[in-house]
């Protein structure tokens, strides 16, 4: 009977995660928060449109984008936590609280991203489509993201993200408060793992859905594939090489 209940709860949890991810992608596909109507046509928000309301729309877009990109790769951790929590008699909604803690960290990152986006637009380094207008800036970001893939802090954070069982054994806390704290900590490891990759959105375009999906797929692979650590390093070398090529091409 217990195993049947656990199986049912797991199916519900998978369905809930899938629904949140699909709704997040639907929001992004709709272009919500990134377009304005001018003469009956939808146009990208311009640099002059930064008001408090627009900033909130940008924040909502970033939060939803981070949810769409990061929740799939966090699903194994969330599901494992839920299974162990139910076996230990933790409240049924603790799994949702864990996921909430995880997303709160990415929402905090989104606030920083919005501030950075505002600064880059004011410096004319981003176009109205929210992609890099300066090849020097683009090359620098590519190199920085590539180098970070090789740094020890990246590898430590990636290891925590790739090993849900190790994370649970090292950081388990009881109760719903413990669930939220664990979600925050796991989110912090994921931000530590992926923040530099997220800066690549400013290179390929914050509104570029193909670029967003490509980054999300890469993050999923480096976290879940058996050779994820080596994939991360190989991608770092490619990014750094790409960035150097971009910078060298400016001198040609």
Q: What global pTM score does this model have?
A: 0.90
DSSP string, 115-154: HHHHHHHHTT-B-TTSSB--HHHHHHHHHHHHHHTTSHHH
Look over the chain and give the mean of its residue pLDDT values, rounded to a whole number: 89
pLDDT score at 183: 97
pLDDT band at 131 (very low <50, low <70, confident <90, very high): confident
Listed by start position, the domains of the chain span 2-251
Q: What is the pLDDT of residues 160-219, one digit of tens each?
A: 999 999 999 999 999 999 999 999 999 999 999 999 999 999 999 998 999 999 999 999
Report pLDDT digits (tens) over 219-232: 999 999 999 999 99
- CB neighbour list of residue 108: distance below 8 Å, 6 or more residues apart: none
In the structure, what pLDDT confidence band is assigned to residue 41 with cuts at 50, 70 and 90?
very low
Amino acid 252: pLDDT: 64
> 3-class SS at 80?
helix
Sign of CA dihedral 18, 23, 27, 29: positive
pLDDT, residue 236, reads 97
Q: What is the mean pLDDT of residues 82-107?
A: 90
Integer Cα distance of 205 and 215 in angstroms: 12
Structure-token pair, residue 206: 């914050």
Per-residue confidence (pLDDT) for residue 136, from 0 to 100? 95
pLDDT of residue 42: 45
- As a whole number, mean pLDDT of residues 126-154 equals 93
Compute the distance between CA of residue 126 and CA of residue 177 in angstroms, rounded to an integer: 41
| Mean pLDDT on 9-35 | 85
Higher pLDDT: 247 or 88? It is: 247
Which pLDDT belongs to residue 12?
A: 85
Q: Average the pLDDT over 116-139 and give the result.
A: 90
Does residue 37 have a pLDDT over 80? no
CB contact set of 101 (below 8 Å; sequence gap of 6+): 179, 180, 181, 182, 183, 184, 186, 187
DSSP bridge partners of 132: 126
């Amino acid at each position: 009977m217990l195993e049947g209940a656990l199986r049912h709860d797991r199916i519900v949890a998978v369905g809930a995660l899938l629904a949140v991810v699909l709704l997040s992608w639907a929001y992004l596909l709709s272009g919500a928060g990134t377009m304005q109507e001018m003469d009956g046509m939808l146009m990208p928000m311009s640099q002059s449109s930064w008001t408090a309301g627009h900033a909130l729309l940008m924040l909502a877009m970033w939060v939803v984008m981070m949810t769409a990109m990061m929740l799939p790769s966090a699903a194994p951790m969330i599901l494992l936590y839920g299974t162990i929590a139910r076996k230990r008699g933790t409240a049924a909604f603790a799994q949702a609280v864990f996921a909430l803690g995880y997303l709160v960290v990415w929402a905090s990152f989104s606030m920083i991203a919005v501030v950075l986006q505002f600064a880059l637009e004011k410096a004319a380094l981003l176009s109205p489509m929210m992609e890099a207008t300066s090849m020097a800036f683009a090359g620098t970001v590519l190199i920085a993201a590539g180098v970070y893939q090789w740094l020890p802090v990246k590898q430590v954070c990636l290891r925590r993200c790739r090993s849900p069982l190790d994370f649970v054994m090292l950081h388990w806390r009881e109760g719903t408060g413990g669930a939220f704290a664990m979600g925050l900590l796991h989110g912090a490891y994921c931000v530590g793992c992926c923040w530099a990759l997220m800066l690549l959105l400013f290179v390929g375009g914050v509104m570029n859905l193909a670029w967003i999906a490509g980054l999300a797929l890469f993050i999923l692979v480096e976290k879940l594939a058996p050779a994820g650590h080596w994939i991360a390093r190989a991608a770092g070398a490619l990014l750094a090489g790409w960035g150097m090529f971009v910078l060298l091409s400016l001198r040609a």
